[in-house]
Structures are given as C-alpha cells and as structure tokens.
Amino acid sequence: MLLKETPKEIKDRQALVINPAKTCQPVGAMYAALGVHNCFPHSHGSQGCCAYHRSTLTRHYKEPVMAGTSSFTEGASVFGGQANLLQAINNIFTVYNPDVIAVHTTCLSETIGDDIPQIVGKAEAEGKIPAGKMVIHTNTPSYVGSHVTGFANMTRSLVEYFSENTGHKSSQINIIPGWVEPSDMREIKRICREMGIKTVMFPDTSDVLDTPMTGKFTMYPKGGTTLPELRSTGDSRATVALGRFASGPAAKLLDTKCKVRCEILDLPIGLAATDRMVDSLHQLAGVSVPDSLNDERGRLIDVMADMHQYLYGKTVALAGDPDQLLALTEFLITLDMRPVYVVTGTPGKRFERRLAELTDGLDYQVRVKQPGDMFTLHQWIKNEKVDLLMGNSYIKYIARDEDIPFVRFGFPIMDRVGHSYFPTVGYQGSLHLLEKILGALMDRIERDAPDESFELVM
C-alpha cells in the first residue's frame, strides 16, 4: 500500500494541504509563453523555480522546454532583482536572440515587490533591448490562484502587450484554447479550417511542444502564434475563449481594450461542449457547418450508443483543473455515467456555480471541492468507492491502493508517452477519450472475470 497512512475518517483541515490538486502560477505562464513564436520565457526569481517548471513541463510533453531565470541570490532578495533582470535581458538577446522575452514573476520577486515594467524601461533606456525586440511581462505570484491562473495571466498579458485595434475589422476569429495539449490546439484549428473560418489561435503550442525529430534541435520551433498574428487579434470579428478559468481573462480584456466581442465557453470536451463551440463558431463567423463535421458528430454519437451498456451508471471520481473538470463532468453525464466526486486545487467559487448548473436535476449527489486536494478525494473514495478514476499521474497511487480502473487525463502526466499527441477535444477527441474510458473498464472486468465468464465478444 502506497498511501497507507490515509485514514478513512475525515478530519477538517484549515491549514494543511495534502497531495495537492494544483501547482503554482509561474509554470502556467511558462507554458503559455511557449505558445508564442520566437518567444523566450523568463522566470524572475530563484533558479529553482525555473528548474522545477522546466522539469515538470518536460516530463509531461517529452520535449525540450527552454527558459531562463534571474537566479536570485540572497543579495538580490534583499536589494531587489533589478540588476539580475537587466543582466538576463542583455544575455538572452545576445546569446539566444528571441523576438520577445516573456517575463513572469515568482513568489520571491512578488514578495519583495520588483516592478517589472520599471526594470524593462530601464533596460530599454540602457539600450539592452535591440530594435524591434520586446520584453513583456505578467505577474504570477505563486501564493494566488494556481498554475491555471498563471496560464490565464500570461495569455491576458499577450492581449495587453500586442492586441491592436487599427479600426479595420477583419473577418478572422480569435481562438483562446486554454491549457490543453498541442494536439488539442491542432484539432481545434482543424475544426475551424473544416468550417472555412480564418482564425488566430493564441497561445498555440502545436509545432512547439510536439516537434518532429529531424536530427537538429531548434530553439524556436516553427509553431507558436506570431507577433503580427497577436497584434491582429484586436481587429478580429470575435473571440471564442475555451475554458473560463484559463481563457476568460484574456477574452474579456480583448473586449474592453479592442472592442472584440467574446464568447466564453467550456472546453470542447464531449458532445455538448463541442456542439456549443461549433455552434458559436458557426454563428460568429456566419458560416454553415459542413457535412464532414456533422459526420464526425454522428460518429461520436454512434460510438456513444455502442458503448452505452458498458458505461451506464458507472461512478467516476475526478481531480484536476477547473476547465477540464467542468467539460469532463458534462461529458460523463451525457454518457449516463455518474461523476460523483470532483476536486480541483484551483480556488474559485465560479467553478462550483458552473458545476451546479451542469449537474442540476441529477438524481444522485455530486460532491465537489474547491480548493480541495487529492487526500480529501482519496478519503471520500475510502468511504464510498467509485468505478473509475480520472486525473493526472498522481491519481495512480489512489487507483493502485483502492484497486480502481484509472484513465490519465490532465496535467501533469509524467509516467506515459503519447498523451500530448492525441486530442481529447472536439468530436474526434471525445471519441479518443471514450476509447480510453471503455478500455480501462473492460480491462478490469476481464482481469477479474472467472474463467467461465471470460468472454471473447462484447
């Protein structure tokens, strides 16, 4: 037993988080910055932050994750990190030559109150920023929100620094994909192409964190939203923001700053959420939905029907990030499965409100906790078991101890390769997710079946 110290009896905790279902802001900011073409993420804090974030992202994506750090020492922590950041800016432009450096802060630099725009201004005045290059920033204090907040903040900063309303409206639609896999971003773009819609997606980590092996390492892969594309978002006809938590703030700023109207939707995981995305795109862009997408949709429902008898009524416990959990909960309900426990470490009452909307009218109770942790989830399970677990790699310890089938979903997944290559968004992605869910359930049935009822056919 690996979590044998976890008692069944639940005691109220006010101060101690055990087995968190979140991490801190800066890693999200780093991931978002990687979705900008020729951009160099920079962590303004101790070098351990940068090392931890790069390691976690690398372990999840199995790809190079390049970023710099201000390497604070005790002296910098007392006197401020200005000298370190000035030096870093100079070194990064000289040695690594990006178009833009995206600085995010840490709990250290936030606690001492470093003013990044002031330092960048000084770098500019001292000629440390070459002509045509930029240093942008976002504030990501680790003691507020979670990694999702950090992603949202950096994405919002992209709007703040780049989006321009030139007065010439274009027909393009902005897509803010949220913190999803590179393959998900690719899939959402494909759906838009299929519909004949011109889009700008930001950030966009496809072709950045899933690059082909060519025998040559490239510091700045061909993917990522380009700076002209980012500027053009202010002229777009509309914004579709996927995921309230990760994409909402950027979409709202685009609306107030550049008067680009936005629709903030759930992540398009599952039938209903994908329907809403496609419907929004169809209305905002004024295009019809092509038969090819209707066919994809039909295939998903066909498979849902094929699988229904195996999924029906199965109880599921979920842990992860709010945008993913909301979409997944809805999908599971659509499948007539029962998402009975839902836990996120990311704080936010909006999460509970939205989840209440999605689970309204169900004839069973859905236990929700925000901010909660995996220890609480495990204790709930100890009190009443579920049929399936879904979440990041850490959930496997619960799955093993309680002998429950487990589907990896979310961030980080550090113990498998491939998850970042297969989408879980859109009709096709949902199909892929369904295949994994059924596979996990059937593997368990077959593992436990006595010889006489071990079946070849379904």
Ordered DSSP codes for 151-209: HHHHHHHHHHHH----S---S-EEEE--S--HHHHHHHHHHHHHTT--EEESS--TTTS
Phi, psi angle pair for 317, to nearest 5°: -110, 135
Which of 127, 216, 309, 349 forms a contact with another protein (CB under 8 A)? 216
Q: Rule CB under 8 A: which of 142-161 touch another protein?
A: 142-144, 146
Query: What stretch of H or E contains 307?
Result: helix 291-311
Tell me the closest approach of the beta carbon of residue 42 to another protein, in angstroms. 7
323: phi then psi, degrees, rounded to nearest 5: -65, -45
* Least spacing, CB of residue 443 vs another protein, in Å: 22
> What is each CA distance from 283 to 3, 195, 197, 277, 315, in whole angstroms?
50, 11, 11, 10, 36
Residues 128 and 58 sit within 8 Å (Cβ to Cβ): no
Residue 373, classed as helix, strand or coil, is strand
Nearer CB in complex with another protein: 76/250: 76
Min dist. Cβ of residue 363 to another protein (A): 34
Interaction with another protein in 436-455: which residues (CB under 8 A)?
A: none
- State the sign of the Cα–Cα–Cα–Cα dihedral 53, 59, 61, 67: positive
The single-letter DSSP state of residue 428 is: H
Biggest alpha carbon–alpha carbon distance for the chain: 80
Q: How far is the CB of 209 from another protein (least distance, A)?
A: 10
- Taking the complex as a whole, the smallest distance from the CB of residue 63 to another protein amounts, in Å, to 5
Choose which of 38, 90, 170, 334 interacts with another protein (CB under 8 A).
90
Is residue 82 near another protein by the rule CB under 8 A? no
Cβ closest to another protein, residue 45 vs residue 391: 45
Nearer to another protein, 303 or 397 (CB): 397
# chain residues binding another protein, by CB under 8 A: 84
- For residue 226, state whether it binds another protein (rule: CB under 8 A): no
Instruction: Give residues 37-66 in contact with another protein (rule: CB under 8 A).
Output: 42, 45-49, 51-56, 58-59, 62-66
The number of CA neighbours under 13 Å toward the Cβ of 57 is 33
Contact pick of 84, 370, 376, 424 for another protein (by CB under 8 A): 84
Shortest approach of another protein to residue 358 CB, angstroms?
26
Q: Kindly state the helix (H) or strand (E) to which residue 407 belongs, with its residue range.
A: strand 406-408
Q: Could you tell me which stretch among 141-149, 156-164, 263-271, 444-452 binds another protein (CB under 8 A)?
A: 141-149
112 vs 438, beta carbon nearer another protein: 112
Of 38, 165, 170, 211, the residue at the interface with another protein (CB under 8 A) is 211
User: Which residue in the set 30, 33, 39, 70 belongs to the binding site for another protein (CB under 8 A)?
Assistant: 70
